[in-house]
Structures are given as structure tokens and as C-alpha cells.
Amino acid sequence: MSDPILKVSGVRKSYASGDRRIEVLRDVTFAIAAGESVSIRGESGSGKSTLLNLFAGLDAPDGGKVELAGSAVIDHAARVKFIGIVFQSFYLIPELNALENVLMAARVAGKVGAVEKARAMELLKKVGLAERAQHVPSQLSGGERQRVAVARALINSPKLLLADEPTGNLDEKTGESVIEILLGLCAETQTALVLVTHNAAHAARCARRFVLHEGVLNAVESSGGATPPALPATR
């Protein structure tokens, strides 16, 4: 692997529950390089969202280290510069049209000019929404809203894209089109992609696959494109 954009070493995380602590992540070690696509599956409550929060520096591990672009300091400035995030819920601003929603991430980065506006329109074109740029979210379908969210996540040219159940609110056909767009754009821009999903078929499309179970992140061996094994039953 070339120098990883994200490197995680021996990470542990637990939370207090009454008079005891629940161990959510145990000795997680993981790395991803530019242009790679990695999927993570796991039953509900397995700690997938907690892991993504650690990747994004939105939470701190109890032990171990998370490094983004070689730095263990993942603050707001680092997130803006290096990370894009796509959520299960679209989190679009209802009063803003598609173009303005995409540009919102550029505003957070502190710069919205002609270059950013042109990039936003180009991204909307790439996700098939150039003609819907002036439509507000209520005028868009669920799949269209998620495609706007993908464009927004990529507006600042991040090195790492974290996608947390991006098809969870979509029907199967629409979900497949969103995954196609995600994988295609990340490969084109050499953006590292971490895809958290319950969908085995979507997970199988990534170059590397992992399953998170009882706090342990295990690699799934390649099986010539076969469907990954079923997840352990939810307890």
C-alpha cells in the first residue's frame, strides 16, 4: 500500500452504561490509501458509526491512534481539508436549491467564488442533476437528494470520503445507482472511500471488505466476486 490517507492502530472505545462499561471497539487496526474503496459491514449496534466518528475525528479513542494524512490531530480544519461525509439521511438545507446545497460545504471551507461554483455545477452534472440545480430538496426524489449529498461531500476535493449507510433510505434500484456514482467518482478523483453498509452486494463492489463484530474489525477474504458471508445475527 502507498502512504495511507487514514491509518488506525490498536484503537479501543467503550462507553459507560450504568455501573459498567460496554466495549464497542477492540484493538481496531486499519489503513486506506488514495483511490482505494473499502466496505465495512456489521449488525446494528456493532459500532460502525462509532468507528466512522473516530475516523473523522468527531470522537476520540480510549486507546490507540488515528492518523489522517500523517497527523494525529483531526480538528475542524483537517476535516474540511481532507474529509467528505455522506450520511444515510441527506441533511440538505430545505430552503436552498441543489447548487446552493453543494456549495454549502465550500462555504464551510471559507471560499465560494467562480471556481467553486463551476466545480459545483460540474459535480451536479456528473451525478446527473445539472438540470435540477435550481430545485429545492422538496422538489427532488430521495435518490436525487442523496446524489446532491454526494456532490456536496466532494466539492472540497477531499482525500477521504466516509459514506455511512448512504443507500439506507433508498429503494434497491436507486441505491445501486448511488453506489455506482460513489465508486465511479472516487475512482476518477482518487478519493479513498470507506463505505459502511448492510448491503452485501454493495459491500462486495469495494476493493477490500471488512466485517465489524463484537468490537473486532475482520477482513473478508476475496472469493472471486462471490457474495460475502452473512452477518452474525443481531442480538
Average pLDDT of the residues in 19-34: 93
Q: Cell digits for 125?
A: 452534472
Using alpha carbons, list the distances in angstroms from residue 235 to 8, 21, 49, 225, 229.
Answer: 27, 18, 18, 29, 18
Nearest 10 degrees: CA dihedral of 193, 194, 196, 197?
A: 40
The answer, yes or no, to whether residue 24 has pLDDT greater than 80, is: yes
Picking from 13, 120, 127, the residue whose alpha carbon sits closest to that of residue 59 is 13
Using alpha carbons, list the distances in angstroms from residue 134 to 95, 101, 102, 108, 118.
Answer: 11, 10, 11, 21, 14
The pLDDT score that the predictor gives to residue 77 is 93
pTM assigned to the model: 0.90
Per-residue confidence band for 222, with pLDDT thresholds at 50, 70 and 90: low
The pLDDT score that the predictor gives to residue 17 is 86
- Spatial distance between the Cα atoms of 208 and 60, rounded to a whole number of angstroms: 25
The answer, yes or no, to whether residue 162 has pLDDT greater than 80, is: yes
The answer, yes or no, to whether residue 132 has pLDDT greater than 80, is: yes
- Spatial distance between the Cα atoms of 2 and 98, rounded to a whole number of angstroms: 36
The answer, yes or no, to whether residue 32 has pLDDT greater than 90, is: yes
Give the residue, 193 or 168, on which the prediction is more confident.
193
- Spatial distance between the Cα atoms of 220 and 102, rounded to a whole number of angstroms: 35
Per-residue confidence band for 221, with pLDDT thresholds at 50, 70 and 90: confident
The answer, yes or no, to whether residue 99 has pLDDT greater than 60, is: yes
The answer, yes or no, to whether residue 13 has pLDDT greater than 90, is: yes
In CATH, what is the architecture of 34-58+75-219?
3-Layer(aba) Sandwich (3.40)
**Do the strands 20-33 and 4-17 form a parallel or antiparallel pair, or are they unpaired?**
antiparallel
